[in-house]
């Protein structure tokens, strides 16, 4: 961009028009609901309201991992929140997450429902409730939390920074793409150096730190985010590649990836999950086949 055409910020910013890009129709500078819409409630102790983005995958993987370990009390209903259509601004959703971001959850296993929002908070809440995926010893617990909060603070530069300007912005701009590509590669290097020392992020044990980080960095390493694998040369991070593939092979992770997913291969899309049998009976390829024979 030439200096003659350079943007000069006004003294006071005002919202005069949509900013453009993939999510411009739902972006706005104020919080709160835009419409009245109650949230559905299913039969299970946990009600999850989400979509199969990386942040949403954290929660569904956690639930599936708990169920795989035999915690029947972790049964959940996963309701689809279509963020591109603004479902997160419905009054019921805003009531459980004033920030209007997925995932959000309600624990109805006790006499008083408990709302939990922010993906990291959901992982920590479930880990503590069921005594899984978080070491009990102070040193191990702290290391897992170190990496959990590292992910929570770092991933916005990958998603809202690199992902936005590389894949979703209305035009390709060199400066922000270069800036956030550099930061994304720095973060991959942080992970690669750590995973050269340990099998998982917190040590030899799979924890919520891995469950939080894999949907972002593991899937980036496997070239499933933004079509940016070649651009970022993700194959260079060999320790991240090893970690990403190992976690990707877990059956609970494979199931968690499918829940609330609305894109990709139909057999990998399970828009809502209300029973374990849904992975066989209610994926989009099966649903489409049923409609075709109706």
| CATH code at position 145 | 1.20.1050.10
Quote the pTM value.
Answer: 0.95
**What is the rounded CA–CA span in Å between residue 214 and residue 57?**
9
Structural domain count, the chain = 1
Find the helix or strand (DSSP H, E) in which 91 lies: helix 91-96
DSSP annotation of 273:
B
Range of the domain at 210: 138-256
Q: Are strands 104-107 and 76-80 parallel, antiparallel or unpaired?
A: unpaired
Q: What is the reported pLDDT for 5?
A: 75
Burial class (CB in 10 A: 0-12, 13-18, 19+), 8: exposed
On whether residue 159 sits in a domain, the answer given is yes
Select the more confidently predicted residue: 140 or 22.
Answer: 140
On whether residue 241 sits in a domain, the answer given is yes
- If we measure between CA atoms, which residue out of 32, 160, 129, 47 comes closest to residue 86? 32
Read off the pLDDT of each residue in 3-7 and give the average, rounded to a whole number.
75
Q: Tell me the average pLDDT of the chain.
A: 95
On whether residue 232 sits in a domain, the answer given is yes
Q: What is the reported pLDDT for 27?
A: 85
On whether residue 157 sits in a domain, the answer given is yes
Read off the pLDDT of each residue in 58-70 and give the average, rounded to a whole number.
98
Q: What is the reported pLDDT for 248?
A: 98
On whether residue 207 sits in a domain, the answer given is yes
Instruction: Give the model's confidence band at 28: pLDDT under 50 very low, under 70 low, under 90 confident, else very high.
Output: confident
Q: What is the reported pLDDT for 19?
A: 67
| pLDDT score of 1 more than 60 | no
């Amino acid at each position: 961009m030439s200096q003659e055409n350079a943007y000069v910020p006004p003294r006071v910013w005002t919202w005069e028009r949509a900013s453009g890009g993939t999510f411009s129709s739902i972006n706005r500078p104020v919080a709160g609901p835009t419409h009245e819409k109650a949230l559905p409630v299913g039969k299970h102790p946990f009600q999850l309201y989400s979509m199969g983005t990386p942040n949403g995958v954290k929660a569904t993987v956690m639930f599936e991992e708990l169920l795989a370990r035999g915690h029947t009390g972790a049964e959940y209903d996963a309701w689809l929140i279509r963020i591109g259509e603004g479902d997160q601004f419905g009054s019921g959703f805003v009531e459980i997450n004033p920030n209007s971001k997925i995932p959000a959850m309600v624990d109805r296993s006790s006499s008083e429902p408990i709302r939990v929002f922010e993906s990291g908070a959901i992982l920590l809440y479930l880990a503590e409730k069921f005594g899984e995926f978080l070491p009990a010893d102070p040193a191990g617990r702290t290391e897992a939390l170190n990496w959990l909060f590292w992910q929570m603070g770092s991933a916005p530069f990958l998603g809202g920074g690199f992902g936005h300007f590389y894949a979703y912005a209305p035009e390709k701009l060199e400066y922000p793409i270069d800036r956030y590509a550099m930061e994304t590669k720095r973060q991959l290097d942080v992970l690669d150096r750590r995973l050269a020392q340990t099998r998982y992020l917190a040590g030899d044990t799979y924890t919520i730190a891995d469950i939080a980080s894999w949907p972002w960095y593991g899937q980036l390493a496997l070239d499933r985010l933004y079509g940016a694998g070649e651009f970022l040369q993700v194959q260079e991070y060999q320790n991240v590649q090893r970690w990403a593939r190992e976690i990707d092979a877990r059956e609970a992770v494979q199931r968690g990836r499918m829940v609330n997913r609305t894109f990709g291969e139909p057999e990998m899309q399970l828009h809502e999950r209300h029973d374990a049998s849904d992975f066989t009976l209610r994926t989009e390829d099966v649903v489409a086949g049923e409609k075709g024979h109706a």
